Amino acid sequence: MSAATEARQAELDRVLDGQDPGKGLADELFAVVGLLRGQVSLRNALSDLTAPEDARRRLAEAVFGSRVSAEALGVVGAAAGLRWTSGADLTAALERQGVRAVLRAAQQAGTLDAVEEELFRFSRIIAADHALRGVIEDRNASQEGREQLVSDLLSGRAQAATVVLAKRAVGAANRTVALTLDSYLVLAADERSRAIAQVTVARPLTVEQSERLRAALSRQVGREVSLQVSVDPRVIGGVRVQLGDEVIEGTVAGRLDAAERQLN
């Protein structure tokens, strides 16, 4: 992602952060995204760099002013006023804000920790189950049917926000469901200014072990860390931690691999 795109996203983030995430804000933003995905001419007009910024904002207000709340219109108008390289980029930016609105509402309700954990577990289930992944990611099947499958799998077993986001991941363009869920996890961590540590162990960690590891990693990076723990017997023993681009290899398997590379 370019620095310019990151700057635009950060500016739009600040607009959303000034709104109340409750009262259906996410649903309204997702509805706008759905409309833009179906109307190429409209999304291109809202991102047309040959048109003045004020004209793009006025168009957004004319189209959506009577359809969404003032909070949602504020986000959509701000997005239209920014310089996106394409209508698809504008739509993706609004989708991201819809996801952030879901996460912010969960944070407000005190359920964000649970949502983060459930999304991580679901992404790992999909990654590990080839048959399930094939069905969920089959773009020849109807999106409604695939979303219903996700709903059937999670409803009553997960937070409502988890179900909403898992269903949104099914419709993500040009990305796998697992990768899309991982991007949601990054946004959830950002919501609380946390780093994400992907931890692989041979056996499940106890609560005490998890807390010790979390504390040690938090001291290392200088901010709170969210652990995403996967159990993989192939690591033989120890723990493997990935923090961004940095890998901390403490497994027997990892040390054996390193020794073999040195010998070769």
pLDDT digits (tens, 9 = 90+) for 118-170: 999 999 899 889 999 999 999 899 999 999 999 999 999 999 999 999 999 99
Spatial separation of the C-alpha atoms in residues 55 and 70, rounded to whole Å: 18
Instruction: Please state the φ and ψ torsions of residue 229, each to the nearest 5 degrees.
Output: -100, 125
Same domain, 81 and 95: yes
For residues 71 and 143, membership in a common domain is answered with no
**Do residues 14 and 76 both lie within one domain?**
yes
Judged on CB neighbours under 10 Å (0-12, 13-18, 19+), 242 is: middle
Of 109, 137, 160, which marks where a domain is finished? 109
Residue 116 belongs to domain spanning = 111-192
CB burial readout 15-39, b (16+ within 10 A) else e: bbeebebeebbbebbbbbbeebeee
**Taking the model in full, what pTM does it have?**
0.81
9 and 83 co-located in one domain: yes
Q: Are residues 99 and 74 in the same domain?
A: yes
pLDDT level of residue 256 (50, 70, 90 thresholds): very low
| Confidence band for 201, pLDDT divided at 50, 70 and 90 | confident
Of 76, 109, 142, which closes a domain?
Answer: 109
Same domain assignment for residues 38 and 91: yes
260 — pLDDT class (breaks 50, 70, 90): very low
Same domain, 149 and 245: no
Residues 69 and 157 both lie in one domain: no
- The span from the CA of 173 to the CA of 31, in Å, is 16
Predicted confidence (pLDDT) per residue in 202-233, tens digit? 888 888 888 888 888 888 878 888 887 888 87
For the chain, what is the domain count?
3
Q: Note whether 2 and 103 are same-domain residues.
A: yes
Domain boundary among 145, 163, 192: 192
Same-domain check for residues 34 and 105 = yes
Q: Are residues 83 and 119 in the same domain?
A: no
If residue 200 lies in a helix (H) or strand (E), which one and from where to where? strand 195-201
Q: Are residues 39 and 76 in the same domain?
A: yes
- What is the residue whose two structure tokens read 């540590």? 197
